[in-house]
Amino acid sequence: MTESTGIDPEDTKIITLARSARARNGVPEGAAVRDETGRTYVAGTVALDSLKLSALQTAVAMAVASGARSLEAAAVVTEAGAPAEADRAAVADLGGPDTPVLLAGPDGALKSTTPAGPTA
């Protein structure tokens, strides 16, 4: 973990990547996930007439399509509140219920960290 932020440098990296995807694509959310080998997958919100996916769902799908077997962490950058249950479920499907989901604001500041699995 870094002394100044208390956030692991690898987690800071996926927040930065998610923030970049959001800004670059002009979408409401950006997300990034890190797989078991350290590879990262970055995505923005998909909002087509025939297909709607959150940024986090898209990043998980990209990881699966690229052969990832597990996730170490996920990050979403948004102005919205906590990640939706469907987003956390997608992360849990690949990473397990204890995989951390980092929520950051558009400025990149970490708002919360929750497990992917049910919190109740």
Q: Name 57's Cβ contacts closer than 8 Å, sequence gap at least 6.
A: 86, 87, 90
The amino acid sitting at 40 is T
Its pTM surpasses 0.75: yes
What do you get for the CA distance between the two ends of the chain, in Å?
28
Determine contact, residues 59/73, Cβ cutoff 8 Å.
no
pLDDT per residue, tens digit, the chain (120 aa), is 434 457 889 999 999 999 999 999 999 999 999 999 999 999 999 999 999 999 999 999 999 999 999 999 999 999 988 889 999 999 999 999 999 999 999 999 999 999 998 755
CA distance linking residue 25 with residue 46, whole number of Å: 10
